[in-house]
Amino acid sequence: METTTDMMMTSFMTSLDTPTSQEVTTEEDYDPDDYDHMCDVSSVRSFRAHFQPPLFWSIVLVGGLGNMVVVWVYLHFRQRLKTMTDIYLLNLAVADLLFLVSLPLWAVEASHGWSFGLGLCKLNRAVYKIHLFSSMLLLACISVDRYIAIVQTTKAHNSKQKRLQCSMLASAAVWMLAIFLAAPEFLFAEPDESDDGKQYCRLVYPSDIGNKTKIAVISLQVSVGFCLPFSVMLFCYSVIVGTLLKTRNFQKHKAMRVILAVVVVFVLTQLPYNCVLVTDVVQAVRPELFDDCAEKKRLHVAEQVLMSLAYTHACLNPFLYAFVGVRFRRDVLKLLQAYRCLPAGAGGKLWPPRLSVMSVTSDDTTPTALSL
């Protein structure tokens, strides 16, 4: 009898240690809760609660204003939508606004946890990924259009209508691809309770595919959301700079400064966070390398800071790609004067021509044509 009892107890204890099909593995980008219970992460959560909300609201205000002005100008001056870059810029502004609408929910989650339900959790995370992929790919498209307009001027001049149609198809393809790449967010995102009693919206994978899926999702984000567009931008702008250096036009120096600003801002805002994501992949493959609690805390604090820095690109895009354009700023002034937000003749004082950067549409074929 004792032997039978011992065997039953052993079988019961074994069943407790064996994972069931209902167990899950969590992966999250916003809250460091995958540590073991011996690691106190309350200080990390406190840092996030104080750091992210004010920054996120600042990004929403600045980015929302800038991108709404871009959409306002393009919808009012519909004749502007006759060039490839203008179509890409309108789509980029829409993508940024889509992301900025979702950002307040992340600000609330940082302070109070997620309390908006399953559906909004999936949608909010998917919106972020759709914005990430669509905006990065649109920036690559803009660089390709500039390359064609400046380096291959004859081809650009002879195929205006065809290029316009290609830009519409390319924009539609970018949106479809971005939605497809956001599929993991729709499938696996859900509110998950943390050890502090609050829920956080994160990716929750089934245990049998958790680690491999996490590696695949992060690798896809780094490769398509950073490496691919950065490679395209680096090639196109390098060739453009080489072409500008061969011209005898004083405006080429201003054009090269714009290119430098675009590339530098892209690298400074996106590269650090993608390096952290690569570290997350290494951690998933070799978890024994990250078994120190203090090291994990520093890594997640760095991830939160650098992720927030990457988000600022959504509010910088209008100033890097639209407001530097002379014609675009002139259209803004016309709208402000038409709605009596600005007295007539005040435009020269606000944006003097001598401070303007060389900026023309992608249909221009001068050597310094920069699609801004």
pLDDT tens column, 312-342: 999 999 888 877 777 787 888 888 777 766 6
Any domain includes 367: no
* The total number of structural domains that make up the chain: 1
Cα-based torsion angle of the residue sequence 319, 325, 330, 336 in order, rounded to the nearest 10 degrees: -10
Do 372 and 325 touch, CB atoms closer than 8 A?
yes
Any domain includes 4: no
- Statement: residue 2 has pLDDT above 50: no
Mean of pLDDT values over 279-295: 80
Any domain includes 268: yes
Any domain includes 363: no
pLDDT range class, residue 100, cuts 50, 70, 90: very high
Quick check: helix, strand or coil at residue 18?
coil
Q: What confidence tens digit (pLDDT) does each residue in 178-211 have? A: 999 999 999 999 998 887 788 999 998 887 776 8
Any domain includes 14: no
pLDDT range class, residue 157, cuts 50, 70, 90: low
Give the model's pLDDT for residue 74.
85
Which CATH number is 133's domain given? 1.20.1070.10
- Structural domain that includes position 130: 26-355
Please name the residue that has the structure tokens 């599929």.
183
Two tokens at 261?
């600003």
Provide the sign of the torsion angle of the four alpha carbons 327, 332, 334, 337, taken in this order: negative
Give the model's pLDDT for residue 212.
85
- Statement: residue 72 has pLDDT above 80: yes
Any domain includes 324: yes
Report the distance separating Cα 5 and Cα 14, nearest Å: 14
Give the model's pLDDT for residue 354.
41
Tell me the C-alpha to C-alpha distance, in Å, between residue 69 and each of 64, 75, 93, 314, 318.
9, 10, 9, 14, 9
- Statement: residue 167 has pLDDT above 90: no
Report the distance separating Cα 371 and Cα 108, nearest Å: 38
Lowest mean pLDDT of 9-13, 55-59, 346-350, name the range. 9-13
Q: What confidence tens digit (pLDDT) does each residue in 292-310 have? A: 788 888 888 898 999 999 9
Report the distance separating Cα 26 and Cα 207, nearest Å: 9
- Statement: residue 106 has pLDDT above 70: yes
Give the model's pLDDT for residue 63.
94
Any domain includes 336: yes
Residue 263 burial by Cβ neighbours in a 10 Å radius (0-12, 13-18, 19+): middle
Query: What amino acid is encoded at 183 in this protein?
Result: A
Report the distance separating Cα 372 and Cα 61, nearest Å: 23
User: In this prediction, what percent of the chain has a pLDDT beyond 70?
Assistant: 77
Answering whether pTM is above 0.95, one says no
Give the model's pLDDT for residue 344.
62
- Statement: residue 34 has pLDDT above 80: no
Any domain includes 274: yes
Mean of pLDDT values over 61-76: 91
Higher pLDDT, 147 or 352: 147
